[in-house]
Amino acid sequence: MSPGHSKDQSSAQLSGQVAVVTGAGRGIGAAVAIRLAQLGAQVVLCGRKRTPLEATSKAIKGDGNHASIMECDVSDLRSVQLLSSTFEHSFGRLDILVNNAGIIGSQGPLHELSPDTWDDIFNTNLRGVYYMIRSLAPIMIRAHTGHIINISSLAGKNPVPNLAAYSASKWGLNGLSYSVAEELRGSGIRVSVICPGSVNTDFSPHVGKNTDKMLQPADIAHAVEMVVTQAAQSFMSEILLRPTQKP
Task: Give catalytic residue positions.
Answer: 166
For residue 148, the Cα-to-chain-centroid distance in whole angstroms is: 9
Residues in the chain: 247
Q: How far is CA 195 from CA 82, 99, 138, 155, 172, in A?
A: 29, 12, 25, 8, 13
The answer to whether the beta carbons of residues 97 and 33 sit under 8 Å apart is: no
Distance, in Å, from the CA atom of 70 to the CA atom of 186, rounded to the nearest integer, reads: 30
The closest alpha carbon to 65, from 35, 96, 106, 108, belongs to 35
